[in-house]
Amino acid sequence: MSIAIVATPLLAVPVPSIAVTAYMVLVINTTGAVGDLYIIWCLRRMPEGTLLYDVDLRHMYVFEPLDVGE
């Protein structure tokens, strides 16, 4: 089940703490999705066969092939 499907109706709840929490969850989820799209955009400009290894929040390793022509 998608986070957006669950959190979006909670924005209309009259309890402010629930609505604010749902809003923050949606903001964090959206920023993560934008980051994923940015990485895809960068990956498409790298040589074919490039691998990304996303370790944690601070580390991402990029492995590019040595021989692109083969």
Asked whether the predicted pLDDT for residue 70 surpasses 70, the reply is: no
Q: Write the pLDDT tens digit of every residue in 23-68.
A: 999 999 999 999 999 999 999 999 989 999 999 989 999 999 987 5
Contact yes or no for 63/51 (Cβ under 8 A): yes
Amino acid code (one letter) for 36: D
Model pTM?
0.71
Q: What pLDDT was estimated at residue 67?
A: 76
What domain range includes position 15?
3-63
Within 13 Å of residue 44, how many CA atoms lie on the same side as its CB? Answer: 6
Who has greater pLDDT, 1 or 8? 8
What is the total count of domains within the chain? Answer: 1
Specify the 3-state DSSP secondary structure of 34: helix
Residue 9 counted as domain residue = yes
Residue 41 counted as domain residue = yes
Q: What pLDDT was estimated at residue 68?
A: 55
Residue 13 counted as domain residue = yes
Residue 68 counted as domain residue = no
Residue 70 counted as domain residue = no
Residue where the block lists tokens 């986070």: 3
